[in-house]
Structure 1
Amino acid sequence: MQFLAREDIEAPINAVFDMVSDFERFERMAMRRGIDVRRSDSEAIFAAGTEWQTEFKLRGKLREMSVVMTDCDRPSQMRFEASSKGMTGLTSVDFLALSPRRTRLSLEMSLAAKTLPARLLLQSVKLGQSRFRKQLQSRLSEFARELEQRHLHGA
C-alpha cells in the first residue's frame, strides 16, 4: 500500500532540508505524544545508518518499531526503512528547489505486511484509504506552514 503527499514551501531548499532533518525536534514531539523514542547511537550527526527504536500504543496494544535512515543526500532526499514484528515500511522524503525561495516537499510511504494480524491491520487501513490520504495531505500542509513560519522568524 502506497501513499504520496506533496506540498510547496516558501523557503529555500537548504533551509527546508535543515528544518526537516531536525530529528531531535521530532523525537521530542513524538515523546510528547506518548511514543518512546531511543536513538541507537549517541552521535550528534544524522546520516545514513542512523537508527531509532520506538514503542507506542496502537489499537490498545504496545508496538515496537525500528526506524533506520537508509539514505541521506543533502539537500535532495532522505530515505527511511521501518520494521516491526509484522510490518515493514519505506518512506522517502524528497526536496525539489522550484525557485531560490520555494521548495517542493514530497513524502512517499509504502507499507507491507509480514504476518496475518498485520495484513488485517493493513486491510482496515485500505478500507479508510481516502480518509488516510486526506489526513496525510492535511498534516503535510500544516507542517509546511509551520516550516514557513519557522523560516520567516528564524527559529
Structure 2
Amino acid sequence: MIFTTREDIEAPIDFVFAQISDFAGLERSILRRGAEVQRKVDRIPHAAGMVWDAAFDLRGKRREMEVTLVTFESPSAMCFEAASKSLNGDLSVDLVALSRGRTRLSMSGELKPQNLSARLLVQSLKLARGNMSKRFEMRVASYAKDIEDKYTRRA
C-alpha cells in the first residue's frame, strides 16, 4: 500500500531541509502525539545510518518498529526504512527548489506486510484508502504550513 503527496512551501530549500532534518524536534512532536521514540544510533552531523526504536498504537494493537535513515542527501532527499516483526515500510522525502524562495516537498510511504495478520491490517487500511490518503495529505499539508510559518516569523 502506497501513500504519496506533495506540497509547495514558500521557503528556500535549505531552510526546509533544515526543518525536516531537525530530528530532535520531530522526536518531541512524536512523543506529544502519544507514541514512543528513542534514538539508538546517532550521527553528528546527521547522516545515513541513524536508527530509532518506535512504538505506537495502530488499530488497537501496540506496534514496535525500528526506523533507519538509509539516505541523507542534503538538501534534497531523505529515505527511511521501518521494520517490525509483521510490517515493514519505507518513507521517502524529496525536496525540489522551484525558485529561490519556493520548495516542493514530496513524500511517499509504502507499507509491506510480512505475515497474514499484517496482510489483514493492510487490507483493512486499503478499504479505508480514501480516508487514509486524505489524512496523510492533511498531515503533510499541516507540516508544510508550519514550516512556512516558521520561515515567515524568522524573516
For Structure 1 versus Structure 2, the TM-score category normalised by the shorter chain is over 0.9
CA distance in 1, matches of 2:111, 2:84: 11
Structure 2 counterpart SS, 1:47: coil
TM-score (norm 1): 0.95
| 2:99 is the counterpart of 1:106 | no
Match of 1:123 in 2: 123
CA distance in 1, matches of 2:42, 2:81: 20
Paired residues of 2:76 and 2:94 also in contact (CA < 8 A): yes
CA distance in 1, matches of 2:42, 2:74: 21
Tell me the number of residue pairs that the alignment of Structure 1 and Structure 2 aligns.
155
Larger mean CA deviation between 128-137 and 4-13 belongs to 128-137
Match of 1:63 in 2: 63
RMSD of the alignment, in Å? Answer: 1.3
Structure 1: runs of 5 or more not aligned: none
| 2:46 is the counterpart of 1:76 | no
Deviation digits for residues 5-61 of structure 1, max 9, x if unmatched? 000000000000000101101101111122111111254432100000011222332
Structure 2 counterpart SS, 1:3: strand
One-letter amino acid of the counterpart of residue 64, structure 1 = E
CA distance in 1, matches of 2:26, 2:44: 14
Structure 2 counterpart SS, 1:40: strand
Deviation digits for residues 48-93 of structure 1, max 9, x if unmatched? 0000001122233222100000001100100000011101101100
Deviation digits for residues 93-141 of structure 1, max 9, x if unmatched? 0000000000000000111100111000000000011111111111111
One-letter amino acid of the counterpart of residue 111, structure 2 = L
Match of 1:49 in 2: 49
CA distance in 2, matches of 1:17, 1:63: 29
Match of 2:132 in 1: 132
| 2:90 is the counterpart of 1:90 | yes
Structure 2: runs of 5 or more not aligned: none
| 2:9 is the counterpart of 1:12 | no
| CA gap 1:3/1:42 in 2 versus in 1, 3 angstroms | closer
CA distance in 2, matches of 1:145, 1:32: 19
Paired residues of 2:70 and 2:81 also in contact (CA < 8 A): yes
Q: Give identity over the alignment, percent.
A: 45
Paired residues of 2:41 and 2:49 also in contact (CA < 8 A): no
TM-score (norm 2): 0.95
CA distance in 2, matches of 1:89, 1:42: 21
Structure 2 counterpart SS, 1:34: coil
